[in-house]
């Protein structure tokens, strides 16, 4: 055996093995259109967990399951007293999900361990791969359930009590599939956390760049806005006597987008859901309810966008004399990643010769909760047309491999190779 430390720089994962594992896991819940339906805590999720933990044991790892069903696959370090350098993600999918979202992050971690095993490389700190329960939130809410309980964002009891549309509880389903463990969620030190993930957006593809060095996750503000006008017949009601709720609502919808443009480069503003009442061709709308989604890279910027939409609605209320309500329904703080972890990802990408750029994550990930507990960072790779949460979700094998190599070297930098 060669001296591991002297050759670490040349170390590369086995991309074909990783791809083969991704494709094999994707068979569990495979859909006709090439996607995956493997809802959290379903029979298929159990099969996926069984396969992943089998692979982990075959790679010499120990398996610990906590009370919310999170799995920790551990490769011991030379100093077991050190907290592990962890990677992970989730293996549950959306009902019409793809092969890569989440699954890639877990299997990339296993490939890192397989690669270290191949070369007999030992690390001072242990290496762990986590799979977090119910990240998607399709069957049970809240989303990012396992990592959220782990980070004490909400209680185990809250998570246990969540029910699906058939009335089944998280606790009951965890018991049923045999993935309710003994360990208290969170009673598990973490020395550092990395997560590889497809971008789920178009930025890397648009720039022709392989690796996104994720600097943080956008803060999110979700609102419901309701404009109340006066329902009236579109024919006999002159313009001057109308109280057209949609005409007023569309002004606010336009402003949502304008606010995002006024807070670049990461400001985002979306109206995704609109309900018009009574929604009849020849009736002036009497009531319009719509969602507002504002995001930005810091809470200060998200707060500035919040202030802008409130001011605009106040002004519109005064100008139109119509009741307009704005209710904040959810708020997620912005989560910058740790400077050293971000730098480790950038260094690894540069060393490996992969084009890379700093990016933000517009969507939530388990890494957001881990960043509350330990230094954390993320690695993005491009996905085709920026599409995810869709059966046509796709990623190139060379990007899958590249992201995993970046993960390997970033983790080794933190876990320290034994020379």
Chain residues binding a second copy by CB under 8 A are 199-203, 206, 218, 220, 222, 232-239, 241, 244, 246-247, 250-251, 253-254, 257, 260-261, 264-274, 276, 279-285, 291, 293, 295, 361-364, 386-389
- In this complex, which beta carbon is closest to a second copy, that of residue 262 or of residue 310? 262
Instruction: Write down the least CB distance from residue 272 to a second copy, Å.
Output: 5
DSSP for 130-143, written as a single string:
EE-TTSS-SSSSSS
- In this complex, which beta carbon is closest to a second copy, that of residue 66 or of residue 195? 195
- In this complex, which beta carbon is closest to a second copy, that of residue 258 or of residue 418? 258
- In this complex, which beta carbon is closest to a second copy, that of residue 274 or of residue 343? 274
**Cα 201 versus chain centre, distance:** 12
Instruction: Write down the least CB distance from residue 195 to a second copy, Å.
Output: 15
Give the contacts of 336 (CB within 8 A, at least 6 positions apart): 215, 216, 297, 298, 371
| 3-class SS shares of the chain: helix, strand, coil, % to 5 | 40, 25, 40
The DSSP secondary-structure symbol of 395 reads -
Helix (H) or strand (E) holding 356: strand 356-361
Looking up tokens 């396992």 gives 146
In our burial notation (b when 16+ CB lie closer than 10 A, e otherwise), range 255-273 reads bbeebbeebeebbbbebee
In our burial notation (b when 16+ CB lie closer than 10 A, e otherwise), range 342-371 reads bebbbbbbeebebebeebbbbbbbbbbbbb
Query: Three-class SS of residue 385?
Result: helix
Residue whose C-alpha is closest to residue 191's, from 360, 404, 341, 73: 341
Instruction: Write down the least CB distance from residue 95 to a second copy, Å.
Output: 13
- In this complex, which beta carbon is closest to a second copy, that of residue 39 or of residue 65? 39
- In this complex, which beta carbon is closest to a second copy, that of residue 21 or of residue 200? 200
- In this complex, which beta carbon is closest to a second copy, that of residue 268 or of residue 354? 268
Strands of 199-273, DSSP E:
211-217, 219-228, 232-233, 268-270
- In this complex, which beta carbon is closest to a second copy, that of residue 124 or of residue 293? 293
Residue whose C-alpha is closest to residue 130's, from 413, 411, 380, 417: 411
Instruction: Write down the least CB distance from residue 228 to a second copy, Å.
Output: 15
205-208: which pairs have CB atoms within 8 A and are 24 or more residues apart? Answer: 205/382, 205/383, 205/384, 205/385, 205/386, 207/357, 208/355
Instruction: Write down the least CB distance from residue 274 to a second copy, Å.
Output: 5
Between CA 237 and CA 241, with CA 240 as vertex, the angle to 5 degrees is 50
Cβ 390 vs Cβ 201: under 8 Å: no
- In this complex, which beta carbon is closest to a second copy, that of residue 47 or of residue 270? 270
The C-alpha atoms of residue 133 and residue 70 are separated, in whole angstroms, by: 5
């Amino acid at each position: 055996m060669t001296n591991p430390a002297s050759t670490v720089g040349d170390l590369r994962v086995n991309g074909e093995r990783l791809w083969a594992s991704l494709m094999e896991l994707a068979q569990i819940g495979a859909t006709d259109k090439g996607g995956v339906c493997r809802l959290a805590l379903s029979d298929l999720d159990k099969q996926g967990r069984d396969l992943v933990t089998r692979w982990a044991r075959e790679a010499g790892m120990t398996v610990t399951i906590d009370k919310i069903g999170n799995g920790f696959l551990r490769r011991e370090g030379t100093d077991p007293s050190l907290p592990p350098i962890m990677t992970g993600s989730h293996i549950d999918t959306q009902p019409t999900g793809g092969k890569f979202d989440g699954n890639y992050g877990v299997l990339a971690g296993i490939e890192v361990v397989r690669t270290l095993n191949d070369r007999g490389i030992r690390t001072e700190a242990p290496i762990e791969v986590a799979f977090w329960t119910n990240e998607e939130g399709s069957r049970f809410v809240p989303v990012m359930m396992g990592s959220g309980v782990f980070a004490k964002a909400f209680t185990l009891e809250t998570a246990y009590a969540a029910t699906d549309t058939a009335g089944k509880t998280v606790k009951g389903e965890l018991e049923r599939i045999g993935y309710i463990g003994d360990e208290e969620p969170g009673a598990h030190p973490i020395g550092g956390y990395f997560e590889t993930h497809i971008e789920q957006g178009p930025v890397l593809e648009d720039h022709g760049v392989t690796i996104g060095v994720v600097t943080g996750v956008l803060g999110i503000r979700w609102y419901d806005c309701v404009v109340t006008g006066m329902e009236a017949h579109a024919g006999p009601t002159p313009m001057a006597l109308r109280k057209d709720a949609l005409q007023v609502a569309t002004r606010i919808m336009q402003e949502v987008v304008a606010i995002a443009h006024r807070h670049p480069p990461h400001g985002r503003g979306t109206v995704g859901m609109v309900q018009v009442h009574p929604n009849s061709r020849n009736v002036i709308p009497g009531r319009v309810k719509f969602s507002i989604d504002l995001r930005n890279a810091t809470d200060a910027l998200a707060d500035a966008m919040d202030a802008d939409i409130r001011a605009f609605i106040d002004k519109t209320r005064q100008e139109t004399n119509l009741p307009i309500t704005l209710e904040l329904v959810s708020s997620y703080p912005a989560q910058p990643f740790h400077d050293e972890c971000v730098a480790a990802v950038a260094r690894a990408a540069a060393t490996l010769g992969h084009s890379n750029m700093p990016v933000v994550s517009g969507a939530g990930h388990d890494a957001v909760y881990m960043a509350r507990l330990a230094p954390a960072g993320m690695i993005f790779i491009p996905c085709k047309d920026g599409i995810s949460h869709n059966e046509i979700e796709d990623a190139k094998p060379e990007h899958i491999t590249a992201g995993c190599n970046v993960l390997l070297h970033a983790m080794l930098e933190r876990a320290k190779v034994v020379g």
